[in-house]
Amino acid sequence: MGLNVAAVSTTVAEWLAAGKARISRHKKVTDHLLQLGSALGLTLAAAFTLASLHWPHLYSQDSEVLSAVSVLLPWALLMLPINAMAYVLDGALVGAEDFRFMVLAMTRSVVAAMGPLLMVESAGLGLAGVWHAQAVLMLGRVTTLGFRYTSPEGRLPHCSRKLSVGYEQQTADTHINVFASSSSVTYELLDHVLYEARISFVEEDLVLNVAWRS
């Protein structure tokens, strides 16, 4: 998952810096990765669910361990697609350097998860209560990061519009400069041709005058 975050963040950062035709590609690629991550998470969750009666026995034959696994397994499988989307969104916002919002989002998610976590011991929830708190944490992260990613005020759309406008302005300025340079060259060339024509006319006139006087 760490490699996933690093890869997405590096790609988004490079495309935001490059601008031009790549401005819209970072959103398309990130959307595609979100779809792939959630689809892979759902596929793994379905596969582990279908084999849940068999594969836990490969690791332990203890009845208490198997009982704990049967309680925790639904939560673990439920979190697979959610975790995948959270890590992709992490990478996208890291690449966009939206660190301030990420700190606020993580703080809010942690605060939301602290309630269930502090109730684990008092309510006697045990290890299942810890997984409940973790589920609240990851749901909070996906919700806040997803809101930022799709928001018009988010860092990614803002950068895209800014870079797009900047690139269009740069392109227009380039066209103007090229036109101005071309016009200047054309004017200088025309002036040179007229100057040569005037010199030729004067020389020809002098030759005719000399010939007439002779």
> Which tens digits make up the pLDDT trace of 143-161?
999 999 888 877 665 444 4
In the chain, alpha helices (H)? 2-18, 25-50, 63-95, 99-123, 126-150, 155-213
pLDDT digits (tens, 9 = 90+) for 49-73: 999 888 889 989 999 889 988 989 9
Global pTM reads 0.65
Tens digit of pLDDT per residue, the chain (214 long)?
Answer: 544 555 555 555 555 555 545 546 777 888 888 999 899 999 999 999 999 888 889 989 999 889 988 989 999 999 999 999 999 998 888 887 888 999 999 999 999 999 999 999 888 888 899 999 999 999 999 999 999 988 887 766 544 444 444 444 444 444 444 444 444 544 454 555 555 555 554 455 544 444 445 5
Phi, psi of 52 (to 5 degrees): -65, -20
Please check whether residue 9 is in contact with residue 97, taking contact to mean a CB–CB distance below 8 angstroms. Answer: no
CA distance 117 to 100: 25
Q: Hey, what amino acid is at 76?
A: A
How would you class 174 by CB atoms within 10 Å of its CB: exposed for 0-12, middle for 13-18, buried for 19 or more?
exposed
CB atoms within 10 A of CB 67: 10
Please check whether residue 133 is in contact with residue 74, taking contact to mean a CB–CB distance below 8 angstroms. Answer: no
